[in-house]
Structure 1
Amino acid sequence: MEHTNAQMQACIDQCLKCYQVCQGMALTHCLKLGGQHTEPTHFRLMLNCAEICRTSAAIMLSGSPLHQRTCALCADVCEECADDCERVSDMQECVDACRACAQSCRAMAGAAA
């Protein structure tokens, strides 16, 4: 499936925003609040989500056809992160960024998803 430069740029932007939000919230909001916010499984998931978002953006920026596979994985991780951030609560910014990124990556993954 062929994507326009505008579609790919929009997905890159969503990935970078999600990276920034997940990384930032994990290292500020979650560490400040503690408790459920710093449970190892939740905290690792947030950092893993940030990293796959950053990686997906980098793969798309390189022009590699591998972006379909990284975007499919990124969408899965973002959905899992959004669900877990909802479970923990008080993390709506992360939930919204993850859901938007998942939707954009799922579209970019196309038939590979």
Structure 2
Amino acid sequence: MHQMSSEMQHCIEECLRCYQTCLGMASNHCLPAGGKHVQPEHFRLMMACAEICRTSAHFMLIGLPEHKHTCRACADVCEACAKSCEQVGDMQDCVETCRRCAESCRTMAA
């Protein structure tokens, strides 16, 4: 069994937190709020962000070296999601969680 670095452990936690935040906010905040919260581009980005975060965590947990690729993609999608959530407004939790995850993923992708 390979020893996981604390940096990777931290990234897995950030990814899972972001997955939970994006999916939870999309379902429990954006859907009921309606309007700009459910514009297709924004809503799809939140769904994509949740999924790439889940996938990146999965790749790191099973120890695939290809996690560098998923982490790079994850950082990009998280950044885009943070920007979108910022524009929609009233989504600070999501903005901050996505930015933290993006930062952590960029470190893992390096």
TM-score bracket, shorter-length normalisation: over 0.9
Between the aligned partners of 1:5 and 1:105, the Cα distance in structure 2 is 14
Helix, strand or coil at the partner of 2:60:
helix
Partner of 2:13: 13
Consecutive unaligned residues of structure 2, counting only runs of 5 or more, are none
Partner of 1:108: 108
TM-score (structure 1 length as normaliser): 0.93
**Displaced runs of 4+ in structure 1, greater than 6 A?**
none
How far apart are residue 5 of structure 1 and its match?
Answer: 1.4
Letter of the 2:101 partner, please give it: C
Root mean square deviation of aligned Cα: 0.6
Q: What are the superposed Cα offsets for residues 55-113 of structure 1, whole Å, 9 maximum, x if unpaired? A: 00000001000000100000000000000000000000000000000000000001xxx
Consecutive unaligned residues of structure 1, counting only runs of 5 or more, are none
Partner of 2:41: 41
Overall identity of the aligned pairs, in %: 62
Between the aligned partners of 1:37 and 1:28, the Cα distance in structure 2 is 11
